[in-house]
Every structure is written in structure tokens, then in C-alpha cells.
Structure 1
Amino acid sequence: MQQTDTDLAAREALRARQGSGARYDAANAPADELLLARRGAAFFARKLNELTDTDLEAPSLREGRTRAYVIAEVSYQARMMAIGLKSLREELTAEEAGWVPDIGLAATLPPRALRHLYAHADVHLNVEFRDLQPPHWEQEVAIGEGRPAPVRSVPLLRARTIWRSAIDLGNGARMADMPPVLL
């Protein structure tokens, strides 16, 4: 997804309004991939907010998984990515370093808590993206217990997961809604 002139103008206008104390993505950050991930997160949030609390208990399009499970999985993926990215900048706390997500347990959270888990995990990931300095974007990072991968691949991985998960909620999102570059 290429940024349009409108996107670039909007970004510059936002920077002017926010002033010098605001944090921004590093100049060498993969802007197009970050945009895909952020728009996907907004799309997922919109589809999530269309669901009633009772709807969260219904099956998703993933066989054997509820919508609540999909939400928990997407949320914990963001949290794992955020922790991995943070490890490039500073030492992790013992709790962060030893964190093992229990998606099944998270899927049983009350609806309000599950919605907050998603919102908080998304914000946390964005903060970590913005806190990366130019050298970090050229490094590798392990997400969870996975093999190290280039940091610049993380936004695209997130974009693919978040857009697909919005469809998997099964409440109207279609493959045609996904940016073509992700198909």
C-alpha cells in the first residue's frame, strides 16, 4: 500500500499540530508496511466494535475457534511483537522475558476485558514501533519463541495477521476489503 499525497500531507499536518514533544516513526522505518498494519488494526477494531458481547462467544470462521479466541490471539500476537521490539532497546523485566501467553485462558475473559486487551495491545505495539531508532530497523528480533527475523518484516507480518483475523471474525469483512498487496 503506497502512501498517497493525501497521506503524506495529513502526516505533516499532524506533526505540526503535535509539536516537538511527540514521537514519530524513524525515518528509515518501513512506512508503507506500518500503514498497512495500522489500517488493519483500525479495520479489526471496527469489526470488533460491531459485535455485541454475546457475539464474541459465537464461532469464528476458524474451525473450532470462537471470535473471542481470535481476538485473544491477535491481541497476544501484538503483545509478543511489542515485547520483542522492546528487547532491542532495553533489557526486559523478568515478567516480560518469561511471559508465555495463554490464548485459551484469555479467550475466556469477560467481553469488556477482551476488548480492552485488544486496544491496549495495539497501542503498546504502536509505541514500540515508534520508539525504534534507525539502527533497530536493520536488526533481527525473535518474536515469542520463534526464530529471529528482520525487524522490518514485523509490520507486514502484523498487517497480514490483523487483516486476515478481521475476516475470521465472520461478521461481514471480506477478502475484497483487504489491501491487494496482502492477497
Structure 2
Amino acid sequence: MSFQDLSLAEQLTVARRGTAYFAQRLAELTDEQLYEPTALDGWSRAHLVAHVGYNAAALCRLMDWAASGVQTPMYASAEQRGREIAEGATLSAAALRNLFDHTVARLDEKWRNLPASAWDAQVRTAQGRLVPVSETAWMRTREVWIHAVDLGNGGRFGDFPDVVLDSLLTDIVGMWQKKDLGAGLMLEVDGRAPIAVQPDSTVSEKIGGSLASLVRWAAGRGAVGVSAGGEVPEPPRWL
């Protein structure tokens, strides 16, 4: 089952579960640990928390767009988004925690109060895609579950609901295909039919493992629990 097969109420529940999972990981960090580096190039945990907080604020703007019909883009520009995160990473620990809590509450309030008739309204993502505003549930789900792992204090892909893992793998493989990446790559998820990333290419590399391990590898978060014919290669770039 994919995320899109769920009802809207179920989708929002999964997003809220992911938010709670991120919040738990965040609460377990000391203020000092917030400024330690992560595995994401050039980002501390403070950058990550600022990003997740400002992402919620950006999704609020899409919700406002759907509610009012007035175009309110997620970000004025890519530069503005980057500047916002960089400046957010300099906030005090208390301010960062408040940013996360406040923007989470705002987004949840907008999800609760959007009229049923507005959920199909078309809005534009930061990448320029036109999508129904209901897509914000998946956009947020992806952010909070993956970045909870990126905090580096105990989050695991193995904790994700299967519907999130399945949908992440579909997204990642779809992006590789769109970018014409991954020729010759075959993914072998335990207990499932293999997935040829580029079906018309000759298979030259097989990567196998559990669903959680393969999604972790495909998302660029390490090769723990996956196997290949030799050394496990780096995955194609996803985002």
C-alpha cells in the first residue's frame, strides 16, 4: 500500500506520528548537542531543526493559498530558503525548540480547519510542481521521518511505518528514473519482487536487504544492512 492509498485522515495521522517521532528525538538532545554536526554536509542539528521548523511554516503558506485562492509560494526564492535556515541555525536552543513547536502547531491548525472542498486546490511546490494541497501531508511526512534519523540520536528507518517506507522507495526510484540515473541497478527487497531502476538497461549491480535498509541506502543515509556483489556503491543522488 502506498501513502496515496490512505484516506486524508489516515495520511495526516501518519504525518503527525512522524512529527511526534521527530519531537521525541529533539527532546532527548541537550541544548549543547543541538550545535553539533550531523551527517548532512555543512549542517549542525540546529540547521536541521530550523529547516524542519521553517518547512512547516512554508507548508502553512500553501494551506493559506488553498484556503484563500491567493498565491502564497512556499519560499520567495531558493536563496531566501537557504538564508532562513542559516539564520535559524544561529538561534538559541530555546528559540529553536520554540520555532519547532510553534510551526508544528500552526500547520496542524491549518490542516484541521481547511474546508473539505479546498483540499483539491492546486498549489505549487518549491520545485515548481503543481499538486493538490492534500500533498502537504506527504511532503511533511517525508520531512519529519527522515530528518528524525538525521538528528543522529537513535532514530531508525526501521521505526518508520511500512507505508512510509514503501512510498519513499517509490519516490526515490521514480526520481532516479526521471533523471535517467541508476542504469543497471536492481533493488532486491527481502520477500519481494526485484525492482529494476531502469528496466531497459542490463542489470550490472544488485543491492539487497530489508525494506528499511534499502530505503535508508537509497535515501543516501548509509549502507547498514544492505549487500551487493562486492563493496556497496553510493546510491544515485535523489534530491
Find 2:31's aligned residue among 45, 53, 57: 53
Counterpart in the other structure of 2:58: 80
Letter paired with 2:111:
F
Residue 63 of structure 1: how far off its partner (Å): 2.4
Question: Please, what TM-score do these two structures have when normalized by structure 1?
Answer: 0.77
Counterpart in the other structure of 2:47: 69
Find 2:20's aligned residue among 42, 67, 70: 42
Q: Which runs of 5+ in 2 are unaligned?
A: 166-239
Contact 2:75 2:126 in 1 (8 A): no
**1:136 lines up with 2:118 in the alignment:** yes
Find 1:164's aligned residue among 130, 137, 146: 146
Q: Which SS does the other structure have where 2:91 is aligned?
A: coil
| Structure with the higher fraction of residues in helix conformation | 1
Letter paired with 1:63:
D
Once residues 80 and 67 of structure 1 are traced to their aligned partners in structure 2, the CA distance between those partners, rounded to angstroms, is 20
1:101-149: CA deviation from partner (whole Å, max 9, x where unpaired): 4111011100000000000010010111111111111121124573321
Once residues 169 and 111 of structure 1 are traced to their aligned partners in structure 2, the CA distance between those partners, rounded to angstroms, is 15
Residue 46 of structure 1: how far off its partner (Å): 0.7
Once residues 76 and 97 of structure 1 are traced to their aligned partners in structure 2, the CA distance between those partners, rounded to angstroms, is 10
Q: Which runs of 5+ in 1 are unaligned?
A: 3-28
Counterpart in the other structure of 2:161: 179
Q: Which moved more, 1:44-53 or 1:62-71?
A: 62-71
Which protein shows a greater Rg?
2
1:54-81: CA deviation from partner (whole Å, max 9, x where unpaired): 0001112312211111111111110000
Q: Which SS does the other structure have where 1:129 is aligned?
A: helix
Once residues 75 and 143 of structure 1 are traced to their aligned partners in structure 2, the CA distance between those partners, rounded to angstroms, is 17
Residue 86 of structure 1: how far off its partner (Å): 1.2
Q: C-alpha root-mean-square deviation of aligned residues, in Å? A: 2.6
Contact 2:58 2:75 in 1 (8 A): no
Whose relative contact order is higher, 1 or 2, with alpha carbons under 8 Å and at least 6 apart?
Answer: 1
Q: What are the residue-to-residue correspondences of 1:107-118 with 2, within 5 Å?
A: 107-118=89-100
Question: Please, what TM-score do these two structures have when normalized by structure 2?
Answer: 0.60
Once residues 112 and 58 of structure 1 are traced to their aligned partners in structure 2, the CA distance between those partners, rounded to angstroms, is 16
